[in-house]
Amino acid sequence: MITLPIASTLAEMDPIGLAELIDCAALQTRVDRKYVVPLSELPPLLSQLTSYAHVLEIDGERSFRYESVYFDTPWLASYHCAAYRRRRRFKVRTRTYLDSGDCWLEVKINGARDSITKHRLPYQPQDRGTVAPGRAFVDEVLAREAISPGGDFDPTLVTTYRRSTLLLPASASRVTIDTGLSWQAGQTELSLPEVAVVETKTAAAASSVDRMLWHRGIRPVRISKYATGLAALRPDLPDTPWRRTLRRHFCVAIPVPGQSPSQPSDQVPGQALPSAPRLAAPHPPASSVTRRIEQEASCV
């Protein structure tokens, strides 16, 4: 059952099944806008949607556990394309729906005007820590997009979170609400338990949720579960696109030019990543790691 602060608000919305949601708003090519919202502010925001938004419901549940394993080359071609805002950017990941055990290999392409195209291949959950069985698929997609990263793809970062998905029928757009956000690189894990990442997915124009958030003074932010999470754990990497987000929401200290880099005393410096990050089991909750970085609500 849902135990989130938004559980009662989600319970008031009409449900929609997965097949109907995909039929109404698959949006494999779309424009995404992302917001970081304190959990405490979500219930009043979502209460404005109960009269017309539908919430994805599967087997009586309206919140689902996700795990994504991101892959990159030894020189982090995907990360650096994002860090330096290359016109053509890509991400390679496996996404596992931990409650059902379903798994996909995905390649996301960022194109002109921030449009995103996602290519998916059904995958075996036991293979989610490697791209080897799907490497031909990855190469085909990247070649079709004229992207040549070169080199092998190794697992670089693991993210876990809970997601609830809304459909806005009038605009055929979707809204995802991610909570319980956690990033793992090797034996270091960073968590943001007091915030949610709200993402609107539209064909182009802003949705009613975008306008509602803007009216409350909540603006889109630059955040990528892969790039921003890796930048938070790896202070040696370039992080210019996400510096404001890192400073405000991740509590990462930004070095001042001419001074030695520093970090808050309760944070663990980024470490060299192992070749195979530990993955969560599809059904039991993910176990804790050796060292954990808990970000407090006061960081927001």
Over residues 13-33, the pLDDT tens digits come to: 999 998 898 888 765 566 889
pLDDT of residue 47: 94
Between CA 71 and CA 299 the distance in angstroms is 29
Residue 298 has pLDDT above 50, yes or no: no
Q: Calculate mean pLDDT across residues 54-80.
A: 96
- Mean pLDDT score, 255-278: 40
pLDDT above 70 for 296: no
CA quadruple 160, 35, 63, 194: dihedral sign: positive
- C-alpha triplet 270, 154, 34: angle, nearest 5°: 65
pLDDT in tens, 23-65: 887 655 668 899 999 999 999 999 999 999 999 999 999 999 9
157 beta partners: 70
Distant-in-sequence, close-in-space partners of 128: CB < 8 Å, separation ≥ 6: 67, 69, 94, 96, 103, 279
Please say if the pLDDT value at position 84 is more than 90.
yes
**Per-residue confidence (pLDDT) for residue 32, from 0 to 100:** 85
How would you label 91-126 residue by residue, b for 16+ Cβ within 10 Å and e otherwise?
Answer: bbbbbbbbbeeebbbbbbbbeeeeebebbebebebe
| Model confidence at 274: pLDDT above 80 | no
Q: What percent of the chain has pLDDT over 90?
A: 62
pLDDT of 300 > 50? The answer is: no
pLDDT at 215 over 50: yes
Give the model's pLDDT for residue 280. Answer: 56
Give residue-wise pLDDT tens across range 222-266.
Answer: 999 999 999 999 989 999 999 999 999 887 655 544 444 333 333
Per-residue pLDDT, averaged over 79-104, amounts to 94
The DSSP string of 22-54 is HHHH--SEEEEEEEEEEGGGHHHHHHTTTTT-E
Q: Which two tokens stand for residue 186?
A: 């090797």
Mean pLDDT of 195-220: 91
Tokens of 264: 């808050």
Rounded to an integer, the average pLDDT of 267-296 is: 38
pTM comes to 0.81
For the chain, give the mean pLDDT: 83
Predicted local distance difference test score (pLDDT) of residue 229: 96
Residue 275 clears pLDDT 90, i.e. is over it: no
What pLDDT is attached to residue 218?
95
Contact at 8 Å (CB) between 149 and 78? yes
Of 180 and 204, the one with more pLDDT: 180
Question: What's the pLDDT at 250?
Answer: 87
Q: Is the pLDDT of residue 293 over 60?
A: no
**Residue range 78-97: mean pLDDT, rounded:** 94
Distance CA(209)–CA(173), nearest Å, equals: 10
- State the pLDDT confidence band at 203, using cuts at 50, 70 and 90: confident
Give residue 144's pLDDT.
92
Q: Are 66 and 98 in contact (CB under 8 A)?
A: yes
Could you give all domains of the chain from N- to C-terminal order, each with its CATH number?
7-253+270-299 (2.40.320.10)
Reported as a single tens digit per residue, the pLDDT across 93-137 is: 999 999 999 999 999 998 766 677 889 999 999 999 999 999 999
